[in-house]
A and B are shown apart, each in its own frame.
Chain A
Amino acid sequence: AQSVTQLDSHVSVSEGTPVLLRCNYSSSYSPSLFWYVQHPNKGLQLLLKYTSAATLVKGINGFEAEFKKSETSFHLTKPSAHMSDAAEYFCVVSGPRGTGSARQLTFGSGTQLTVLP
Chain B
Amino acid sequence: EADIYQTPRYLVIGTGKKITLECSQTMGHDKMYWYQQDPGMELHLIHYSYGVNSTEKGDLSSESTVSRIRTEHFPLTLESARPSHTSQYLCASSRGVLAGGTQETQYFGPGTRLLVL
Interface on A for B, CB 8 Å cutoff?
Answer: 3-5, 9, 34, 41-46, 49, 100-110
Say yes or no for B56: interface residue by CB 8 A criterion. Answer: yes
B35 closest partner in A (C-beta): A102
User: What string of 1s and 0s marks CB contacts (under 8 Å) between B55-82 and chain A?
Assistant: 0111100000000000000000000000
Say yes or no for B88: interface residue by CB 8 A criterion. Answer: yes
> Known pairs A105-B105, A106-B106. 15 more at Cβ < 8 A?
A3-B103, A42-B59, A43-B58, A45-B45, A46-B44, A49-B42, A101-B37, A101-B90, A102-B43, A104-B106, A104-B107, A107-B103, A107-B106, A109-B103, A110-B101
Residue from A44, A49, A103 within 8 A of B45 (CB atoms): A44
Cα distance A109–B102 in the bound complex, in angstroms: 6
Q: Give the tally of cross-chain contacts (CB within 8 A).
A: 62
Which residues of the other chain, B, contact A104 by a CB distance below 8 angstroms?
105-108
Interface residues of B in 77-108 (CB under 8 A from A): 88, 90, 92, 97, 101-108
By the criterion CB–CB under 8 Å, are B105 and A107 in contact?
Answer: yes
**Nearest chain B CB to A73's CB is how many angstroms away?**
16
Interface on B for A, CB 8 Å cutoff?
Answer: 37, 39, 42-45, 48, 56-59, 88, 90, 92, 97, 101-108, 110-111
By the criterion CB–CB under 8 Å, are A101 and B97 in contact?
Answer: no
Which residues of the other chain, A, contact B103 by a CB distance below 8 angstroms?
3-5, 106-109
Which residues of the other chain, B, contact A101 by a CB distance below 8 angstroms?
37, 88, 90, 108, 110-111
Which residues of the other chain, B, contact A108 by a CB distance below 8 angstroms?
103
A5 closest partner in B (C-beta): B103
B43 closest partner in A (C-beta): A102
Which residues of the other chain, A, contact B56 by a CB distance below 8 angstroms?
41-43
A103 closest partner in B (C-beta): B108
